[in-house]
Amino acid sequence: MRKIALEEHFSGPGFEKYLEAVAEMFDPGFLSSAEKFLPEFDEKRLSMMDKCGIDIAVLSQTAPGVQAELDKEAATQAARRSNDFLSEQINRNPSRYRGFGCIALQDPESAAEEVVRCVKELGFVGILVNGHTAGEYLDEEKFQPFWEQLNALKVPLYLHPGNPYDKPHMYSGRPELNGATWSWTCETATHALRLVFGGIFDRYSDVKVILGHMGETLPFMLWRLDSRALTSPGGRAMKKPPSQYIREHIVITTSGVCANGPLLCSLSEMGEDSVMFSTDYPYEDAELAAQFIDNAPISLEQREKVCFRTAEHLFRISLEPQSAAATALSSHSYRD
Ligand code: MN
């Protein structure tokens, strides 16, 4: 089936140094082979997309990106350079690529200005942020200018994992739990819950946040969040149960999770219009992701929503019409 994929990474010039911040989370051999694909936008990336039936990839600067830059001015300049570079790549192949902008939240005011430039000048469909910025999370007051612009422009934020600010004691002696195995999931799910409990969605009613990795476990936890949050001591009074904020303001992608159980749970708990296909290229096996969604035990209508219709709606883009022969072929990729 035809697809739009949303968690598809690249690395622009000058960003290689930031990758060192996450290098210890990967097997060195795996990382060096994946990194070869990051700066490439032609044959390798497009042939992967063709094999997987991905018509459009929404590209984003790979983690940790500009979040790893400690100098505020350098971060602001790096974000602008990355966005200009991405815009050039999209303009070379506008029928296949869209973009998420990257912003330097080290300076929230200029980050808010860059959001506007990304959307209005460069035509990006959203913003992607790799977790906290120097230990500060997006529910904090200083980031309100960023949320104001996102809300006004009605473009989503992809909240992508990054390393925790410090290394929690519970991971000591168990380095294999760091990174994609587990610690990024806890970090990102907690960041998303800070937005829910911190009232971001009360203040900004049009904001949508995208979480990868099948919602970073949140779809599985909605009932328990509702059950216990209302009786937890402290914190601000919530107008709605946590699950309602999550269903109204958070949508998820399938990136890095190729299993029917979590997919069916997510469709059931989040809703059929809240789950979108992604691969997490080049860190995950894109063909496996495509085979998974093409064969998942869901209806044709559900598959169309997951593969492209929900993304078309969210990003206000349309896949070009296909010939009848191509439609028949794409709807049977991996199924014959
Ligand atoms: Mn990713």
| DSSP secondary structure of 76-116 | HHHHHHHHHHHHHHHHHSTTTEEEEE---TTSHHHHHHHHH
Cα 222 to Cα 304: distance, rounded to the nearest angstrom: 25
CA of 45 to the centre of ligand 1 (A): 15
The pLDDT of residue 336 is 35
What whole-number distance in Å separates Cα of residue 79 and Cα of residue 40?
19
> Ligand 1 mean position to 280 CA, how many Å?
5
Whole-model pTM: value is: 0.95
CA gyration radius for the chain? Answer: 19
Predicted local distance difference test score (pLDDT) of residue 230: 75
Per the CB < 8 A criterion, the answer to whether 156 and 211 are in contact is no
pLDDT at 335: 44
Q: Please give the pLDDT value at position 21.
A: 76
Backbone angles phi, psi at 59, to 5 degrees: -90, 145
| Angle (CA) 242 246 247, round 5° | 115
Q: Are 44 and 85 in contact (CB under 8 A)?
A: no
CA 40, distance to chain mean position in Å, is: 20
pLDDT at 326: 66
Class of domain 3-331: alpha beta
- DSSP secondary structure letter of residue 297: S
Output the CA 128–ligand 1 centroid distance in Å: 10
Residues 52-69 as b or e (16 or more Cβ within 10 Å = b): bbbbbbbbbbbbbbbbbb
The whole-number pLDDT of residue 32 equals: 84
Q: Give how far Cα 267 sits from Cα of 52, 186, 271, 288, Å.
A: 22, 21, 5, 20
pLDDT of residue 24: 80
Per-residue pLDDT of the chain (336 residues; tens, 9 = 90+): 999 999 999 999 888 888 887 788 788 888 888 889 999 999 999 999 999 999 999 999 999 999 999 899 999 999 999 999 999 999 999 999 999 999 999 999 999 999 999 999 999 999 999 999 999 999 999 999 999 999 999 999 999 999 999 988 999 999 999 999 999 999 999 999 999 999 999 999 999 999 999 999 999 999 999 998 877 777 778 899 999 999 999 999 999 999 999 999 999 999 999 999 999 999 999 999 999 999 999 999 999 999 999 999 999 999 988 766 666 655 555 443
317: left (phi over 0), alpha (psi -120 to 50) or beta: beta
From the CA of 323, how far away is ligand 1's center (Å)?
33
Structure tokens, 289: 């992701």
pLDDT of amino acid 128: 98
What positions carry a catalytic annotation? 280
Q: Cα(66) to centroid of ligand 1, in Å?
A: 15
Compute the distance between CA of residue 99 and CA of residue 63 in angstroms, rounded to an integer.
Answer: 15
Q: How far is the CA of 87 from the centre of ligand 1 (A)?
A: 20
Q: Are 30 and 61 within 8 A, CB to CB?
A: no
